[in-house]
Amino acid sequence: MLNILVIHGYVQTGDTVRYNTGRLQTELCHIAVLHYVDGPRMQDPSWGDSRPWWILKNGSHWLDPDHKNSRWDETAQVWLEHLSKHQYDGVNGLSQGSALTPKQQQPIQFAILCPSQQHSHKKIYDVPLDLPTVHSDRVISVDGI
């Protein structure tokens, strides 16, 4: 059985993605187990159950030093701790989750990435992955990614 890590997006949790991918879980149940991970808990109660991996403020980019220090350290700690305890064959990353593919931490065999289309995230997705990919979008060519 393949172990596939599913990494949620900005205003989601592992549970919301688990709920929304019930059909996928059913279709893959004979060949794969989907594992869902949560981003760090927000201290501000106005976020509810959402667990964003990082927060963009005033149009800043997630790699900006001011932004990175505010939430990225906590995300990196949660992320590395999780990967030290679990091994995965592949990754399904959604939005922010697609930027957290554990390329350096684990030798994953494949990735299914559904990145954000937000312009400020572009640098995140410009890092090439040396993994097998499938491109089936008839609207956006593989060169347009």
pLDDT in tens, 108-126: 888 887 765 555 555 555 5
Half-sphere CA count of 144, side-chain side, radius 13 A: 8
* Between 64 and 27, the higher pLDDT residue: 27
pLDDT recorded at residue 143: 57
pLDDT in tens, 36-75: 998 887 777 777 787 877 776 655 554 555 554 467 777 7
17 burial via Cβ count (<10 Å: 0-12, 13-18, 19+): buried
The chain-wide mean pLDDT, for the chain, equals: 74
Instruction: Answer yes or no: is pLDDT of 34 > 80.
Output: yes
**Domain tally for the chain?**
1
Answer yes or no: are the C-beta atoms of 99 and 106 closer than 8 Å.
no
pLDDT recorded at residue 57: 63
Answer yes or no: are the C-beta atoms of 89 and 47 closer than 8 Å.
no
Residue that has been written with the tokens 């997006």 in this structure: 9
- Give the CATH number of the domain where residue 134 resides: 3.40.50
pLDDT recorded at residue 36: 94
Residue that has been written with the tokens 């976020």 in this structure: 47
Percentage of the residues of the chain whose pLDDT score is greater than 90: 19
pLDDT recorded at residue 29: 95
Domain that holds residue 110: 2-144
Q: Strand, coil or helix: what is 12?
A: coil
